[in-house]
Amino acid sequence: MKISFVLNGQNTSMEIEPNIRLLDLLRDKFNLTGTKEGCSIGECGACTVIMNGKAVNSCLVLAGQCDGAEIITIEGIEKDGKLHPLQENFLKSGAVQCGFCTPGMIMSAYALLLENPNPIEEEIKDAIAGNLCRCTGYKQIIDAVEKSTKEVVR
C-alpha cells in the first residue's frame, strides 16, 4: 500500500507492506535508528515518537495508520544545527547513561511540552511513566525536563 506523511518536517510518500509497524518503517526504510526497540509490546517506551502532536509507541502503530500523519522522531528535533533544549539539558543534568531509553524519553518529554509548556514535577513523572530506564533512576531526567520548560520556545 502507498502512504503519504510528513516525517520530521519533510513530505514523504512510500509504498509499504501493510503489516509493518511504524517502528520498522522508521528504522528499516528511513534508517532513522535513533528510535529503539526494547520490548515490542508498548511497555518500555524506547520506540516513542510524536504522531500528530502526541507521544506514541511506534511498535504499536502500523505504518499504514500513518497515512496523512505528521511524525517527529529524535532525529527531527534539532533546529538549525542546534540541540533542542531538552537534548541540551539531558546532557547538562547527567540524564543519560547507557542512552538506549534516551530518544524515547526525550520524545515523551517533547510531547508533554507541546501540550503543557509549564508542567509541575508530577506531570513530568506522568509523561515519562511509560518510558522505562534501568540506569538513571529518572531523577536527572526529571531535572532535565524541568530545566527545559523555561527554555522551550514554541
Residues 1-30 that bind other proteins (CB under 8 A): none
97/118 Cα distance (integer angstroms): 26
* Residue number with CB closer to other proteins (61 or 74): 74
| The only residue of 50, 85, 112, 138 in contact with other proteins, by rule CB under 8 A | 138
154/11 Cα distance (integer angstroms): 22
Closest distance between other proteins and the C-beta of residue 12, in Å? 18
| The only residue of 1, 4, 120, 139 in contact with other proteins, by rule CB under 8 A | 139
Residues 89-118 that bind other proteins (CB under 8 A): 90-94, 96-103, 106
| The only residue of 32, 55, 69, 72 in contact with other proteins, by rule CB under 8 A | 32
Q: Which residues contact 67 (CB under 8 A, 6 or more apart)?
A: 3, 4, 5
Does residue 131 belong to the site contacting other proteins (CB under 8 A)? yes
State the helix-helix crossing angle for 102-115 and 85-93, rounded to 10 degrees. Answer: 130
The type of residue at 146 is E
154/151 Cα distance (integer angstroms): 9
Cell 534516551, located at residue: 102
154/152 Cα distance (integer angstroms): 6
Does residue 44 belong to the site contacting other proteins (CB under 8 A)? yes
Does residue 119 belong to the site contacting other proteins (CB under 8 A)? no
Q: Could you list the residues that contact other proteins (CB under 8 A)?
A: 31-41, 43-44, 46, 73-75, 78, 83, 86-87, 90-94, 96-103, 106, 124-126, 128-142
